[in-house]
Amino acid sequence: MSKPTSAKPAIAASTPVLPPNDPHLAPVNLKLTREERIELFRTMMRIRRFEERSLRAYQAKKIGGFLHLYIGQESVAVGCCSLMGKDDHVITAYRDHGHAIAVGMGMNELMAELYGKATGCSKGKGGSMHYFSPERNYWGGHGIVGGQVPLGTGLAYALKYKGLKGAAMAFMGDGAVNQGAVHEAYNLAALWDLPVIFVIENNGYSMGTSQERSSAGELPKRAAGYDMAWGQCDGSNVYEVRAMMDKFLTRAREESKPAVVEIDTYRYRGHSVADPDNTYRAKAEIEEYRRTKDPIQVVQNMLIADGVLTTAELEKLDQDARAEAENAAAFAEASPYPTVEDIQKDVYWEADHPAQRTSKGRLFFD
Amino acid sequence: MPQITYREAIRHALAEELERDPNVVVMGEEVAQFNGAYKVTEGLLAKFGPKRIVDTPISEAGFIGAGIGASMLGIRPVMELMFWSFYSVAFDQILNNAANVRYMSGGLINCPIVIRGPANGGTNVGATHSHTPENVLANHPGVKVVVPSTAYDAKGLLKSAIRDNDPVMFLENTILYGDKGEVPTEEYLIPLGLADVKRKGNDLTIVSYGRCVIHSLAAAEVLHKEHGISVEVVDLRTIRPLDIDTVLASVAKTHRVLIVEEQKPFASVGSQLAYMIQREAFDELDAPIHRVTTVDAPAIYSPPIEIEQLPNPARVIKAALALVAGSK
Ligand SMILES: Cc1ncc(C[n+]2csc(CCOP(=O)(O)OP(=O)(O)O)c2C)c(N)n1
Ligand SMILES: [Mg+2]
């Protein structure tokens, strides 16, 4: 990837821009306006700055539990979620911050959730691994490796049942592919022609175990055993992600067909912040990836080369993302914790809607 | 009132709810073409077609998980487990996903799913097929647990379960499927969480649910006729939510409690009940609470011995007599 070149004049608003570096020249990318290209980049940048800020909050002991950062993988969630129409749905595992921002959740509610505050997206009840936003068709945020994959299949089932032309994207890691529930979901999706794309975000490692040490064969090819289509692409280029996903999403919506795709990516940080990350990979490997394939750098270079963004605009965009994350941390800091009384709310729908309760008897046993 | 079987009562509940709400879907292994492993869903495919009555592969984690996901988007799946014993391969889906997703989303999501099927011993199918997991399920806030003992209760409770906006675990009994009972032709619902006094009495309260209610009623008859002991039988019907008030009212009348349950004794439903009764009605008790449970071992195959491992009328009578004698 070339170094950022000097700025060219910005292209007039809403002129479709052809990304010259895009190997695919896919229509889904050709039709992007300048604003849309910038927006894709901005979302990636916002994810990165959010993650960096949350890491600092973790180091300052403001955040409990686990924190699985998405740094290095931003193009995957952004590329995929940028294609969502109103009947498309997303579900993922515990490395869920990037998808949350990509579907449009606000940094304030996300940061507050990390802080365990009542203003968090799950009122401080879910934490880092359990972000949800049903109004944005985002169904979590799931802590058990592979456990969300049958749920994603069920989202697709519901779409088909209701006759909606939408698709579900069920994200998982390269380690999750070895869970039985994933294979059960593959089979059901293929058997019933469900509009679900199983997206393997292959960052090379499941915790400290490399792909070679955990999985036999090539991951997306397992789809062939279920007579499902499969695809694979380099995730460092958000346009490449979009080009591939558009194909499979369109097919899912139009023909109600599932697929398995692998998107190759990389995480710069440890598995979680608690992972010292010094036993299973070389620092040089991380550096090499950062130098040649960093998804933000890749897109940034293109935008500058194409004259979509000037370096000054770029700097401004970055500063805005940092400020937004900083403000989110201040918001989280200033927000109240849930109360002890809140512990037993949101357990049963009925208990939360006493006027509509039809059952009798005790629901809680203290 | 017409007499129909427990199986038919469940089938009628399913059919009525399928008719009422186009989002209700019945799904499970062999539920459609085969007409149900226990024929509960017989005829439903012919009536409602393959979109509403769906055969699944042998893939409990997959299809129960898919049902949970579909329920998050407003479908109301009624999933059949051929045996509740097979819940263990879908444990994560049921008790991590269905039970927790509402909580972890801060109340943004709910799962209106019903998982139903038989959960009982007594059919000589050995330890793998004889689990009664109502205590395990009820240990998970977020799910509701129903165990009906009669055709009337099964129908009214299942209809309520299907309309409920929380995940409901509905535990039936293969031995009861053929039992007949009076069930009105007009529609009725039984709210979850409401116990039913199946027999009135003054000397001893038996608290029970599921098939053990039938054993308890048989025992109560003998205790009355041969020993002059007047037994009140309280059928919980629902384990969670739990109608402890009806239990306590009965205890206040009889002052003696025997719990009869098809559960292994360690941390059973009865353990929780005994705790609550002593905590809330200590002064009412004239004797320690007794339990009749499954004998504490994996389910034995040997047919005549399995009868002895499970609660049965003779064991209930023996325990009741000992309890009453000890408190006199
Ligand atoms: C069933 C289960 N087993 C183990 C874990 C612990 N665990 C959490 S993440 C993880 C690695 C998963 O790696 P991968 O699927 O590649 O996703 P990534 O973390 O790389 O995004 C493990 C072992 C878990 N959460 N759930
Ligand atoms: Mg991985």
Query: Is A348 part of a structural domain of the chain?
Result: no
A7: pLDDT strictly greater than 70? no
- Is A153 within 8 Å of B69 when comparing Cβ atoms? yes
CB count in 10 Å sphere of residue B21: 12
Q: Distance, CA A201 to ligand 1 centroid (Å)?
A: 12
> Whose C-alpha lies nearest to ligand 1, atom 12?
A206
**Does the CB atom of residue A145 touch ligand 1 within 6 A?**
yes
Can you give the pLDDT at residue A24? 55
**Does the CB atom of residue A207 touch ligand 1 within 6 A?**
yes
DSSP string, B241-296: SB-HHHHHHHHHHH--EEEE-SS-STT-HHHHHHHHHHHHHGGG-SS--EEE---S
Distance CA B24, CA B83 (A): 21
- Is B163 within 8 Å of A358 when comparing Cβ atoms? yes
Q: What is the mean pLDDT of residues A138-152?
A: 97
Backbone angles phi, psi at B55, to 5 degrees: -75, 135
Q: What is the pLDDT of residues B32-63, one digit of tens each?
A: 999 999 999 999 999 999 999 999 999 999 99
ipTM, interface predicted TM-score of the complex: 0.87
A365 to chain B: which residues are within 8 Å by CB? 242, 272, 276
Q: What is the CATH number of the domain that holds A122?
A: 3.40.50.970
A112: pLDDT strictly greater than 80? yes
Q: Of A172, A40, A52, nearest to A111 (Cα)?
A: A52
**Before A141, cis peptide (omega within 30)?**
yes
Q: Distance, CA A107 to ligand 1 centroid (Å)?
A: 25
Q: Which two tokens stand for residue A91?
A: 């579900």
Domain count, chain A: 1
Can you give the pLDDT at residue A1? 35
Q: Of A45, A95, A50, nearest to A70 (Cα)?
A: A95
Cβ contacts below 8 Å, chain A against chain B, sum to 198
A18: pLDDT strictly greater than 90? no
Query: Is A14 part of a structural domain of the chain?
Result: no
Window B:95-154, CB contacts with A under 8 Å:
96-97, 101-110, 112, 141-142, 144
Can you give the pLDDT at residue B155? 98
Q: What is the mean pLDDT of residues A188-193?
A: 98
Can you give the pLDDT at residue B328? 66
Which residue among A96, A206, A215, A277 has the greatest number of ligand 1 atoms within 8 angstroms of its CB, and so is best to mutate? A206
A366: pLDDT strictly greater than 90? no
B238 to chain A: which residues are within 8 Å by CB? 359, 361
Query: Is A151 part of a structural domain of the chain?
Result: yes
What residue of A is the nearest CA neighbor of B64? A150
> pLDDT under 50 in chain B at which residues?
none
Residue linked to tokens 């700097």: A315
Can you give the pLDDT at residue A20? 45
Using 50, 70 and 90 to split pLDDT, how confident is the model at A25?
confident
A350 to chain B: which residues are within 8 Å by CB? 164-166
Q: What is the mean pLDDT of residues A104-133?
A: 97
What residue of B is the nearest CA neighbor of A151? B69
Question: What are the structural domains, with CATH classification, of chain B?
Answer: 3-182 (3.40.50.970), 196-326 (3.40.50.920)
> Which one is predicted more confidently, A7 or A256?
A256
CB B246 within 8 A of CB B235: no
CA quadruple A249, A82, A268, A132: dihedral positive or negative?
A: negative
Can you give the pLDDT at residue B288? 97
Query: Is A1 part of a structural domain of the chain?
Result: no
Query: Is A362 part of a structural domain of the chain?
Result: no
Can you give the pLDDT at residue A10? 38
A63: pLDDT strictly greater than 80? yes
Can you give the pLDDT at residue B148? 98
Q: Of A166, A232, A248, A237, nearest to A200 (Cα)?
A: A232
B98 to chain A: which residues are within 8 Å by CB? none
Can you give the pLDDT at residue B218? 98
Which residue among A68, A130, A144, A207 has the greatest number of ligand 1 atoms within 8 angstroms of its CB, and so is best to mutate? A207
- Is A188 within 8 Å of B66 when comparing Cβ atoms? yes
- Is A149 within 8 Å of B160 when comparing Cβ atoms? no
Can you give the pLDDT at residue A3? 39
Q: What is the pLDDT of residues B76-100, one digit of tens each?
A: 999 999 999 999 999 999 999 999 9
Q: How far is A300 from chain B (nearest CA, A)?
A: 35
Can you give the pLDDT at residue A274? 87
Query: Is A98 part of a structural domain of the chain?
Result: yes
A229: containing domain: 20-207+218-339
Q: Give the mean pLDDT of chain B.
A: 97
Query: Is A26 part of a structural domain of the chain?
Result: yes
- Is B102 within 8 Å of A185 when comparing Cβ atoms? no
